[in-house]
Every structure is written in C-alpha cells, then in structure tokens.
Chain A
C-alpha cells in the first residue's frame, strides 16, 4: 500500500480498502478474477508484437474494398491525431478550456459539408451505416410517411443496421431495382414505388456495384416532397458532383477513406450532413460559432436541447460519444491533400479500375465489365468459380480480394450470381494488376 493511500484511509477513519466496500452485500461479492495477474510493459509489448506478426503477409496484393479502402495517409494526419491534447481530452463540455477541439470540430463541419456541398454537418457519427440509420430516423421526424425506399442492392450490413435503427418507428423499407445493362438504379421502377407514404428515398453514389450512378441526378424530381438521402463515397467527390447538386436533403458517408487506418473495421467516421432548415431535427453533437465576454470569436456545442442529456427520451438520438478524433483525422487529411490531391486520388482510382477491367478482359472465362456504367473503386467480376476454390487460387497467387457479391449483397439478379468484387485504390500498382491477371488465368 502506498504511503498516501494509508494516510487517506486514516483521514477517513477506515482501516483498509475492503471497508470501503462494506455497502456491497456478501451475496454479490466476487470471489476472484480468474485470469493471469499483471505483467510488465516490456512483456506486454513483446507479446503484442508477436501476435501482430501472425498477421504478416508480405508480398500480398490488396484488392479488398467494398466500403473500406487502403489509401495513402499523409504522415501529418497521424501526427496531428496523436497530439495528447486531442487524443486524451473528452467532449468539450467546458468550452473555454477546450477551444482547440471545438475549433477543430467546427472546421471539420465546415470542410466536410463543403466537400459534400451541403449546408451543415454534425461533428460526427459512429460510421457510415449508422449515419445512414440516423438519417432514416431523421427523415421520419421531418416527414409524416413511414416508408423509406432503398436500393435492392444495398449491402447486407447497411440493411440490417437501417432496420435495427428504425425498429422502434414502425418504418417499412421498400426496394427499388437496378438496370442490369448499366448497373445504375432503375428510375422507372423507383417512380413506381413512390407514394404519399414515402418519407425518404435513399440513393448511393457510387452504388453498391461500384458504378458511378448517373441516374441519381434524376431522382429528386421524381420523388416530390419525400427527402432525398444520399450515401456517397467522399473520395469520389474529388471528381464527382456533390450530393447537394442533385438535391440531397441529407447526405451521409463512411469517412474512413479520409485519413483513417483500416483497423480491421474501426474506429471509422460517420459523416452526417444536411440542409440547414433541418438542423433542429438532426441527431448528434453540433459545434456553433459564438463570441466570448470580450467579443472574441469562440466555439461551443450548440443545439444541445436536441440531445439526450437534456431531452432524455425526447432526444433526437441517444448518441453522445461519437468519433471526434476521427473527424479531426478527416479534417487534417482534407487540409493536407487539398483539392488537387483529392482529385488526383480519385482519378488514379478510376484509372486503375478501368485498367483492371481492361486487363482482365483478355481472359475469355472472365467478364470484368457486366455493366456499361463507369466503375469507381469496386469492380464486380463475373467468373465461374465457387468461393472456396477462388480463395485458394488467390491465396496461392498472393492476393487478397475476390469478395463474393452475395456475401455482402442480398442479390436479386441472375447475372450477378457469379460476381466477385475486386477493388482498387490509388495505391494499386500495375504490377498488382498483372499479378491478378496471372492468378486468374487458371480459372
């Protein structure tokens, strides 16, 4: 026992630690924690390093994507988010002593809403799919209808999260279909699913087939007063029109690609943007600009009367802790990369997906271009193989990739029964593509 521990116990008139727990009934006392005692920092780091080594697969080329991408991360991003003052602070409840975090998050809101072309953003949600779930909930608060139209190719995990986020609201999800020639949404089908009960329509761009969906720009005029919720790829906005330009009322995204490591699934970043008139119906923490007692510019958390700590069961969401640090990573990424860098990253990605299609088209047993639409990162490739044989073939060829489409999408189309995803980024090199072509030659 430390000296000052015993002096504190004396001050309290207590003999030992155990007496501090005399209010806990014997019946619920835990006898022991059944695992090993403490170890040294040295041993811990040694063991962790050894464990990490079993993840080492040097020389493998990466063709995995489908929502999470291995992109170039400028060193400045890691350096900035490692600053103790950001890393080890918490929600800026005491604004005057937390201006660094507050200004950073305000800048994040500014840059991310600019990137998406939207009026406003909150200071982050957990990840892309949960942001979509919150967007659906928000749409039902804004509009009376209880139906939400969704693409029939939406990823299984997004569908499940949407369903769970809305399970308390009696929302009905109705699907619209896709045109198997272009790989884009079927506008006629979407229009036929419309009705006065539709609170919102969800579109994705690029869509779940990785196709830049040129039809999204026609959706707003087809849906009347229903809200348009867009789920976009933030990197694609280096070259693509913003969701605001095609009339989105709410636009959300997975922000992982903006300077955040893949981390085997998290932490990531839920980007959440909206039209300003909807601000009071929005979920999550929002930073606003104000002034201090002497008139200097400063920042505070605002619109807190929407939030759980004040409104409790009437709050717009239960979210409090979010992904603030990941928001700063995205901000630092956008600031470092700039418009020209973002454009380069997006164009390099598109050129490599076009090259992948082109190079694989030499193999007559493979169809890398089932759709006429343009691919962004993810390319569904039709090939005659089952999942296991393809995996062992790719393993032998030192390739990660080839995610079966119906593993991640509840597939409605015969054409895509034998589709496997291969995804590229700006890091994909021609040598990687050549390796993939070789590996698939024996199919």
Chain B
C-alpha cells in the first residue's frame, strides 16, 4: 500500500498568535458609547495574520479524508459524490446574500426554488404536504414526533397514547426523538429474516400506541416486504406510521412512503439528494405528511398565487421547529440535484446504488458473514465475528490503506457489525479494491491489526483517556 496521509505537527490555533491583518474597517471608534457597566476592554480571541489562518486550515484539511478524496462506504450515511454544480449555484450571491425577512416580492427566485422542491418531494414520496423547515434528520424526526403528538392531543387521545414503537434495528435517533417528544419507547425484536416480527408487532401495538417509526429498507439493507401488513396493524389500532427517510436512496422512483402507507416522512437531503455533509453538517430534513396532518406541520409553506410565490404563514398548530424556512443553502443544492438528474436519472441512481450494494455483498461474503441472506437495497451489513477479527480493527486496517471505513458496531443487533453503503457514485474498481482490503484484513493476525493505523495523520487514539481527562478546549 502506498497511502500516506499528510501528518503535520500542526500547532494549536492560539499558538499562531502574532498580529492581525484584518483591515476591512479603516475607522477606529472610541468605546465611550458602550455602557460602562457592561464594557469589556478586549474580547478573548487570538490575533493571527490572514495568511497564517489560511495555511493552518489548508494543512488541517490535508489531514482529513473526504468523499472527494475517495471511496467512503459509511453505512447509513449515503456518502455519495456531491456534485460541483450545486456548490456553484449555492454560492451565487443573489441566493446566498438574501436576508430571511426580505419582502416576498423581492425574493421570487428563492421562493420558486423552495416551491419546486416542495413539489418534487411530494411527487417522490406520494405525500400531500411538506415543510422544508427541519434542519437535519434527527430534527426531522423530532418534528414528525411532535406532529404525531399534536395530532393525538387535538383528538383528546394524548393521555392514552403514550408509546412509540421502534424495531431493535432502528437508527438510534428514532428512540431518542420519540423520547424527546415525551413518548415512552417500546422496542420490538426483528425476526430471523431481519424484518419486523409481525407477531411481536401485533402484541406491541395497542390503543396506547401513538406511532411505529421504521425505515424501509431497514438498517440491515433489507426491504421489508410485509410493509402493507405492518401499516394495517398500526392503522387498525388508530396509530400512525412514521418513515425514517435515511435509506430512501435505494428506492427513489421505485416505491414510495406514500404507497407503503406511511403518514409522516422525513427526507435526508444530505444523503439521498447529495448535498455535502460538511464534516458533520449542515444537513436538511424536510418533513412530508398526509392531508389529515397538513395543518400541523411547521410553516410557512411556499405557495404559488396569481401575483407570484408567497409564504403561507397559516397558523400551524405546531408552530416552529427552527427559526426560518429551513437551510435554504442546502435546499438549493438538493433542488439543483433533482433538476440535473430528473425523473429518469434519479431512478437510475437507485438502480445503480442497489446493484453496487449487492455486488459488494457478494464480493466480501467469503471473508465476512453477511448478516442476512437475500437481496440488499442501499447497503449491506456483515459481521466479522467468525473471522476472529474485531470490526474496529478491520476499520483501522481500511483507513490505514487509504479508504474510509464502513460504519462499525451498528446496527446493534449484529455482532462485530460492518455496515457498508457504496452508493451509486463509485466504480466497480473501488468496490473490488475495498473487497480486497477486507480480505487482507481478515488474513492479518489480531495483534497485527491492533497496531494500525500507521499511515494516517494520527496513530490509534485513546478514547478512554479523552473521556477521563475531558480536555474540551485549550
């Protein structure tokens, strides 16, 4: 392997302290204008020349792996290529320099983008109304949970419907969002196929249930073919069905949450719609609902009227979940992606994402056990348990060879889990190289693996020490 990540002894930013070169304001003002009781002589910020700031972050960036660096098969995160046209459009000043309180007549271009995105998302999901406001997947979930809460509150059933049911394979955000919305979480086991156990579901869903939160395909990459029965079980008890849209990339254009019987859906625009993940955000997670829930979702909604586009500040019964209308900079990128790909290529992307996941599953199946047999959708989950190698150690071997590792130890129901999502924007060679790395990893001894990584900017880091010493700033 020839991979070597940049490894600078990069100083801590405050150690670059010398002088500032910021001179965009020429005038010096005296501070007698500041009330004496509140006056502070100088803010506690370091003074650094601009050229040192830029060099510092350039060097740091070289110690960071990204989608633009290479294959990034982080399961459940849909790390597909982020097209550059979207960056270009999002940085157009006539989009980026607009204050959110500008009057509607002065932001028609912006409102049209938002309106069209709403329409696209409704068509993709077969739902009736959508809010663009939520700022990330987890916030989309919280929004959905609060919509469900408000729905039962208005029906006078909230005191009774205290529970939200989630499968044991669910993303951690599902139970966390349900709990944040004030519900008790009831977890149900998956069956041998990795699907919702229908008997367990029938037992768990009662007149105390507010909702079932699931993702389909699930976190094992398997499409739950019982989905209509699941919907029937949930709806027959008067509960609602929530769709975690994290795994939408596999099925866009092929099926939809609406057709599957869901009532509330969130979309992760930073996954399915290729907006850059920014090292951990920003994301965006519009939420779509059926007509009977339409007046509960946060507003405003963009409408098209006779004299142009406008913000419908209808009195949402839920109010707001974030300050304005959503992360417009992210919404705009997603709009660009949908326009560029269109109805034909969006579906082709799903085909190819699924083809890749199945190809990769078979490629690695002789070295690690695939969690469940059968067709995969967007991702595949494997276990390294039988190989005698820890998933964490395999991950460190992969990053040491210059690729990003899969998600490890998730879903929780698979021991030594490696969760691998190739997406559609990789070549067969990327996947062959990855499969070879898995093969090499399980051929090394556990001791050899534990010594890795050595080619990355840092050697194996001590998590325990970090949590014990708790140095959170310098």
B89: chain A residues within 8 A (beta carbon): 44-45, 48
Residue with the greatest number of chain B CB neighbours at <10 A, chosen from A83, A242, A276: A83
Q: Considering the chains assembled together, what is the distance between the CA atoms of A172 and B124 in angstroms? A: 40
CB-based contact B20/A325 at 8 Å: no
Binds B, one of A56-64, A195-203, A362-370, A433-441: A56-64
CB-based contact A23/B225 at 8 Å: yes
Binds A, one of B235-243, B324-332, B383-391, B441-449: B324-332
Closest A residue to B57 by CB, please name it: A80
A262 within 8 Å of B (CB atoms): yes
B28 within 8 Å of A (CB atoms): yes
A41: chain B residues within 8 A (beta carbon): 85, 340
Number of B interface residues at 8 Å Cβ cutoff, please give it: 185
Closest B residue to A294 by CB, please name it: B459
Binds B, one of A163-171, A173-181, A185-193, A220-228: A163-171
Query: What are 14 A-B residue pairs whose CB atoms fall within 8 Å in the complex?
Result: A47-B339, A90-B74, A96-B399, A96-B456, A96-B459, A100-B61, A104-B57, A130-B321, A161-B319, A240-B39, A266-B324, A296-B458, A325-B280, A339-B20
Closest A residue to B10 by CB, please name it: A103
Give the Cβ gap from A435 to chain B, nearest Cβ, in Å: 16
Instruction: Given A89-B277, A110-B474, A123-B280, check contact A214 B325 (CB 8 Å).
Output: no
Instruction: Given A97-B399, A262-B100, check contact A5 B355 (CB 8 Å).
Output: yes
CB-based contact A24/B336 at 8 Å: no
CB-based contact A292/B98 at 8 Å: no
CB-based contact A96/B460 at 8 Å: yes
Q: Considering the chains assembled together, what is the distance between the CA atoms of A22 and B375 in angstroms? A: 8
Q: Considering the chains assembled together, what is the distance between the CA atoms of A17 and B321 in angstroms? A: 40
Report B151-183 residues with CB < 8 Å from chain A CB.
171-173, 175-183
Report B1-49 residues with CB < 8 Å from chain A CB.
5, 10, 12-14, 16, 20, 22, 24-25, 27-31, 33-35, 37-40, 42-48
CB-based contact A279/B470 at 8 Å: yes
Give the Cβ gap from B451 to chain A, nearest Cβ, in Å: 8
Residue from the list A240, A264, A279, A318 in contact with B40, Cβ < 8 A: A240
Q: Considering the chains assembled together, what is the distance between the CA atoms of A44 and B123 in angstroms? A: 20
A80: chain B residues within 8 A (beta carbon): 53-54, 57-58, 61
B306 within 8 Å of A (CB atoms): no
Closest B residue to A211 by CB, please name it: B35
Task: Given A124-B281, A311-B172, output 19 extra A-B contacts at Cβ < 8 Å.
Answer: A23-B225, A36-B343, A44-B89, A47-B339, A92-B279, A94-B404, A127-B323, A129-B323, A130-B139, A157-B320, A160-B319, A266-B329, A289-B474, A298-B461, A309-B172, A318-B139, A339-B47, A341-B22, A351-B33
Instruction: Given A38-B345, A55-B98, A104-B57, check contact A24 B225 (CB 8 Å).
Output: yes
B347 within 8 Å of A (CB atoms): yes
A15 within 8 Å of B (CB atoms): no
CB-based contact A391/B103 at 8 Å: yes
Binary CB contact string for chain A from 118 to 159 against chain B (1 if under 8 A, 0 otherwise): 011101101111100000010000000000000000000110
A111 within 8 Å of B (CB atoms): yes
Report A1-54 residues with CB < 8 Å from chain B CB.
4-5, 7-9, 11-12, 14, 17, 20-25, 27-30, 32-39, 41, 44-45, 47-49, 51-54
Closest B residue to A134 by CB, please name it: B180
Closest A residue to B403 by CB, please name it: A97
A265: chain B residues within 8 A (beta carbon): 100, 323-328
Q: Considering the chains assembled together, what is the distance between the CA atoms of A315 and B66 in angstroms? A: 28
A303 within 8 Å of B (CB atoms): yes
CB-based contact A348/B27 at 8 Å: yes
Instruction: Given A100-B62, A167-B149, A340-B47, check contact A263 B465 (CB 8 Å).
Output: no
Instruction: Given A52-B109, A339-B45, A345-B25, check contact A96 B458 (CB 8 Å).
Output: yes
Closest A residue to B124 by CB, please name it: A33
B200 within 8 Å of A (CB atoms): no
Closest A residue to B30 by CB, please name it: A347
Q: Considering the chains assembled together, what is the distance between the CA atoms of A254 and B180 in angstroms? A: 22
Give the Cβ gap from A278 to chain B, nearest Cβ, in Å: 12
Q: Considering the chains assembled together, what is the distance between the CA atoms of A22 and B303 in angstroms? A: 38
CB-based contact B139/A264 at 8 Å: no
Instruction: Given A160-B320, A264-B95, check contact A350 B33 (CB 8 Å).
Output: yes
Give the Cβ gap from B220 to chain A, nearest Cβ, in Å: 13
Closest B residue to A268 by CB, please name it: B323
CB-based contact A241/B39 at 8 Å: yes
CB-based contact B96/A55 at 8 Å: no
Give the Cβ gap from B137 to chain A, nearest Cβ, in Å: 6
CB-based contact B428/A8 at 8 Å: yes
A128: chain B residues within 8 A (beta carbon): 323
A101 within 8 Å of B (CB atoms): yes
Q: Considering the chains assembled together, what is the distance between the CA atoms of A88 and B428 in angstroms? A: 21
CB-based contact B459/A293 at 8 Å: yes
Instruction: Given A52-B95, A318-B138, check contact A103 B60 (CB 8 Å).
Output: yes
Q: Closest 9 CB pairs between A and B?
A: A168-B182, A265-B324, A325-B278, A100-B64, A324-B280, A338-B20, A160-B319, A38-B342, A267-B282
CB-based contact A64/B108 at 8 Å: no
CB-based contact A286/B463 at 8 Å: no
CB-based contact A35/B120 at 8 Å: yes
B305 within 8 Å of A (CB atoms): no
Give the Cβ gap from B383 to chain A, nearest Cβ, in Å: 18
Residue from the list A25, A129, A321 in contact with B283, Cβ < 8 A: A321
B374: chain A residues within 8 A (beta carbon): 23
Give the Cβ gap from A62 to chain B, nearest Cβ, in Å: 7
Instruction: Given A39-B340, A72-B25, check contact A115 B43 (CB 8 Å).
Output: yes
Closest A residue to B89 by CB, please name it: A48
Q: Considering the chains assembled together, what is the distance between the CA atoms of A317 and B112 in angstroms? A: 34
Q: Considering the chains assembled together, what is the distance between the CA atoms of A54 and B110 in angstroms? A: 8
Interface size class on chain A is 35 or more
A426: chain B residues within 8 A (beta carbon): 25
Closest A residue to B141 by CB, please name it: A318
CB-based contact A266/B279 at 8 Å: no
CB-based contact A8/B359 at 8 Å: yes
Binds A, one of B201-209, B252-260, B286-294: B252-260
Residue from the list B46, B255, B282 in contact with A30, Cβ < 8 A: B255
Instruction: Given A238-B43, A345-B25, check contact A32 B343 (CB 8 Å).
Output: yes
Give the Cβ gap from B436 to chain A, nearest Cβ, in Å: 15
B410 within 8 Å of A (CB atoms): yes
CB-based contact A107/B82 at 8 Å: no
CB-based contact A86/B462 at 8 Å: no
A443: chain B residues within 8 A (beta carbon): none
B79 within 8 Å of A (CB atoms): yes
Q: Considering the chains assembled together, what is the distance between the CA atoms of A70 and B10 in angstroms? A: 33
CB-based contact A303/B467 at 8 Å: yes
CB-based contact A308/B173 at 8 Å: yes
Report A255-270 residues with CB < 8 Å from chain B CB.
261-268
CB-based contact B99/A68 at 8 Å: yes
Residue from the list A22, A28, A54, A85 in contact with B69, Cβ < 8 A: A85
Q: Considering the chains assembled together, what is the distance between the CA atoms of A121 and B39 in angstroms? A: 23
Give the Cβ gap from B140 to chain A, nearest Cβ, in Å: 10
B255: chain A residues within 8 A (beta carbon): 24, 28-30
B198 within 8 Å of A (CB atoms): no
A252 within 8 Å of B (CB atoms): no
CB-based contact A35/B185 at 8 Å: no
CB-based contact A263/B96 at 8 Å: yes
Residue from the list A4, A44, A288 in contact with B471, Cβ < 8 A: A288
Closest B residue to A155 by CB, please name it: B323
A373: chain B residues within 8 A (beta carbon): 35
CB-based contact A336/B176 at 8 Å: no
CB-based contact A126/B139 at 8 Å: yes
A91 within 8 Å of B (CB atoms): yes
